[in-house]
């Protein structure tokens, strides 16, 4: 059997750089080396693509030994060059440039410059198959404000919210506070519109806290969302596939703090999760149907995790957000939900790679507008 050449990308120029390293470490460990020739390349915070040849170090925790848990530039490493003109990937080393064989790219990247459509556009210009959502879906899912507008137009229930553009250095912060207080009640959650992994999110229960939360969120993105807090259970659902996506069993997050924050998601691990969630059969089906509806509304491909709220007093389901490249760390819920649905981690990686190859071949033969119907399954 001829092995496919898979290039795993990690790091990136976003505040979720460290999370990407942890996710990529898990993906690389799970790669079936009997099926794939695996290459890894890190993207430095400055945006340089550099080949990472010490994959064996991952198994000895050398991976986590990067300074400040970041992939920093090393001039001794070979550089990756992308050439949209001839659809190639090249390796530049000591002044020499040579082509690099790549069948599929697995971009294990979170946040802007990796998950927001920009990298996907580059790969499509180069004609390289890649795992995950396309340009449009990636961009829309990353911008929570745009996604919420689409949810509203599609009649999908969600929490009341306010979308604001502001500069934390300007006095307009007070006008933003007045606007929020006129439309929402405390407590509220404040988040940057174009980030994930709970980066920059705060809970505010007073005017002073709201001002501070707005400044923090605006430091990451001038577009800020303020959402009404609800008394609800946090439910998540994994969706896998492009032509005929399948939906996992749902999971529930039981936060140890006011909410499932960045530290808890990836480092402290003090929150608890329940997979599958303790839901009735009817509610499980409702969760799966809404997850699939959101996934197809944004025309996602490959994979996504859909986050929902289940109100305690009303049993009403509300969409929170969708993540087109969810975490793949050892404590991440996406692979856990897939495993609970009968898809172990190594098989999940294989299915994602095969999906990327099938998606690429379908582009040349599928009529425009042909979207096969999909049915949620456990």
Query: For position 374, what pLDDT does the model report?
Result: 40
CA 92 – CA 78 distance, rounded (Å): 6
How many residues appear in the chain? 378
Per domain, the residue ranges of the chain are: 4-130, 160-228, 232-363
Residue 88 pLDDT grade (very low, low, confident, very high; cuts 50, 70, 90): confident
Burial of 356 (0-12, 13-18, 19+ CB in 10 A): buried
Q: Are 227 and 193 in contact (CB under 8 A)?
A: no
A 10 A CB-CB count for 286 gives: 17
**Strand partners for 43:** 11, 49
Give pLDDT tens digits for 98-113.
999 999 999 999 988 9
**Lookup result for tokens 């942890």:** 22
**Residue positions forming the annotated binding site:** 144, 189-191, 197-198, 227-234, 307, 320-321, 323
In terms of pLDDT, which residue wins out, 87 or 314?
A: 314
**Structure tokens, 20:** 């990407």
Query: For position 168, what pLDDT does the model report?
Result: 55
Query: For position 196, what pLDDT does the model report?
Result: 67
Residues with active-site annotation: 16, 197, 332
In terms of pLDDT, which residue wins out, 234 or 368?
A: 234
Strand segments (E) across 123-165:
161-165
**Residue positions forming the annotated binding site for ATP:** 144, 189-191, 197-198, 227-234, 320-321
β-pairing, 96-99 vs 251-254, is unpaired
In terms of pLDDT, which residue wins out, 268 or 134?
A: 134
A 10 A CB-CB count for 210 gives: 24
Q: Are 371 and 53 in contact (CB under 8 A)?
A: no
- Of 363, 355, 236, the residue nearest 301 (C-alpha): 355
Give pLDDT tens digits for 192-236.
998 765 778 999 999 999 999 999 999 888 999 999 999 999 999
CA 129 – CA 107 distance, rounded (Å): 11
CA 322 – CA 236 distance, rounded (Å): 10
CA 307 – CA 328 distance, rounded (Å): 16
Q: What is the side-by-side strand order in the sheet with 188-192?
A: 161-165, 223-228, 188-192, 202-204
At residue 13, φ and ψ (nearest 5 deg) are -95, 55
β-pairing, 223-228 vs 188-192, is antiparallel
Q: What is the mean pLDDT of the chain?
A: 88
Query: Worst-scoring range by mean pLDDT, 29-33, 147-151, 272-276, 374-378?
Result: 374-378
**343, pLDDT greater than 90:** yes
**Structure tokens, 170:** 């300007």
What CATH number is given for 232-363 in this structure?
3.30.470.20
Query: For position 367, what pLDDT does the model report?
Result: 44
Residue 166 pLDDT grade (very low, low, confident, very high; cuts 50, 70, 90): confident
Give pLDDT tens digits for 17-69.
888 998 999 999 999 999 999 999 999 999 999 999 888 777 666 666 665 57
In terms of pLDDT, which residue wins out, 169 or 344?
A: 344
Query: For position 170, what pLDDT does the model report?
Result: 59
- Of 233, 232, 182, the residue nearest 210 (C-alpha): 182
**259, pLDDT greater than 60:** no
Q: With respect to CATH, is domain 4-130 assigned 3.40.1160.10?
A: no
Predicted TM-score (pTM) above 0.85: yes
What CATH number is given for 160-228 in this structure?
3.30.1490.20
Give pLDDT tens digits for 89-144.
999 998 899 999 999 999 999 988 999 999 999 999 999 999 999 999 999 999 99
CA 156 – CA 242 distance, rounded (Å): 22
Query: For position 18, what pLDDT does the model report?
Result: 87
**Structure tokens, 228:** 């009404």
**14, pLDDT greater than 60:** yes
Query: For position 146, what pLDDT does the model report?
Result: 96
Give pLDDT tens digits for 280-294.
999 999 999 999 999
**Residue positions forming the annotated binding site for Mg(2+):** 307, 321, 323
Query: For position 55, what pLDDT does the model report?
Result: 81
Query: Worst-scoring range by mean pLDDT, 10-14, 61-65, 116-120, 330-334?
Result: 61-65
Q: How far is CA 44 from the centre of its chain?
A: 19
């Amino acid at each position: 059997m001829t092995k496919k050449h898979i290039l795993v990308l990690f790091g990136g120029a976003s505040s979720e750089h460290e999370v990407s390293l942890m996710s990529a470490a898990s993906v690389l460990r799970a790669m079936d080396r009997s099926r794939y020739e695996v290459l890894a390349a890190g993207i430095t915070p400055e945006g340089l693509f550099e080949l990472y040849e010490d994959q064996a170090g991952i198994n000895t925790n050398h991976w986590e030994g990067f300074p400040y848990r970041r992939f920093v530039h090393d001039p001794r490493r070979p550089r990756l060059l992308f050439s949209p003109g001839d659809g190639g990937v090249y390796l530049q080393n000591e002044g020499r440039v040579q082509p690099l064989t790549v069948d599929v790219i697995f971009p294990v990247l979170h946040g802007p410059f990796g998950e927001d459509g920009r990298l996907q556009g580059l790969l499509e210009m180069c004609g390289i198959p890649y795992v995950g959502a396309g340009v449009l879906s990636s961009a829309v899912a990353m911008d929570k404000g745009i996604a919420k507008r689409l949810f509203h137009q599609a009649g999908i229930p969600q929490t009341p919210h306010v979308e604001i553009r502001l500069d934390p250095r300007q006095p307009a912060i007070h006008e933003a506070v007045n606007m929020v207080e006129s439309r929402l009640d405390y407590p509220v959650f404040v988040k940057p519109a174009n980030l994930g992994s709970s980066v920059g999110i705060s809970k505010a229960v007073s005017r002073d806290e709201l001002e501070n939360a707005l400044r923090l969120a605006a430091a990451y993105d001038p577009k800020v969302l303020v959402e009404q807090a609800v008394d609800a259970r946090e439910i998540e659902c994994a969706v896998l596939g492009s032509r005929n996506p399948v939906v996992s069993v749902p999971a529930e997050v039981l936060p140890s703090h006011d909410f499932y924050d960045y530290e808890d998601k990836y480092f402290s691990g003090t929150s608890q999760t329940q997979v599958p969630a303790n839901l009735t059969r009817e509610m499980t089906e409702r969760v799966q149907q809404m997850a699939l509806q959101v996934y197809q509304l944004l025309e996602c491909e490959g994979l996504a995790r859909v986050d929902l709220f289940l109100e305690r007093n009303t049993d009403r389901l509300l969409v929170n957000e969708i993540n087109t490249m969810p975490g793949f760390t050892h404590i991440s819920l996406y692979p856990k939900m897939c495993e609970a649905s009968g898809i172990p981690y190594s098989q999940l990686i294989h299915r994602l790679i095969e999906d990327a190859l099938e998606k690429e071949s379908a582009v040349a033969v599928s009529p425009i507008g042909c979207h096969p119907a999909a049915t949620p399954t456990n």
